[in-house]
Amino acid sequence: MAYIGLDWEKHVRIDRFYFRPTEVNYLQADAIRARELFNWQPKVRFNKLVRIMVDADMDKIELASPGEDQQILNSSFGGWHRWEDQVISINGY
């Protein structure tokens, strides 16, 4: 939320009703097998992925976004990515 200048505590509500009985506080993926089997390396790290997603959501509802998404996508993927080719969710957002 700092990316778009908002204090998350003013905009996020936590409802314990949606907690799972065996909720874990920390999850971390392990991509070692993908690296070993396919010689794979991530092109976009989590913090940049979040910026891409936030910009896409803001653009979709016609709000001005910081706009780092295209810079990240172009530097990571060489300009092949286009938003208009993406799948639209059921509710149209």
Residue 92 in any domain: the answer is no
Residue 26 in any domain: the answer is yes
- pLDDT of the chain, 93 residues: tens digit per residue: 688 888 989 988 999 888 877 877 788 888 899 999 999 888 888 899 999 899 988 888 888 888 888 888 888 887 666 656 665 555 555
Q: Which of 80, 50, 79 is nearest to 65 (CA)?
A: 50
Residue 93 in any domain: the answer is no
Residue 28 in any domain: the answer is yes
Residue 63 in any domain: the answer is yes
User: What gap in Å lies between CA 39 and CA 8, rounded to an integer?
Assistant: 37
* Domain coverage including residue 27: 2-85
Residue 91 in any domain: the answer is no
Check residue 88 and give its pLDDT. 58
User: What gap in Å lies between CA 55 and CA 74, rounded to an integer?
Assistant: 14
Residue 90 in any domain: the answer is no
Check residue 23 and give its pLDDT. 72
Count structural domains, the chain. Answer: 1
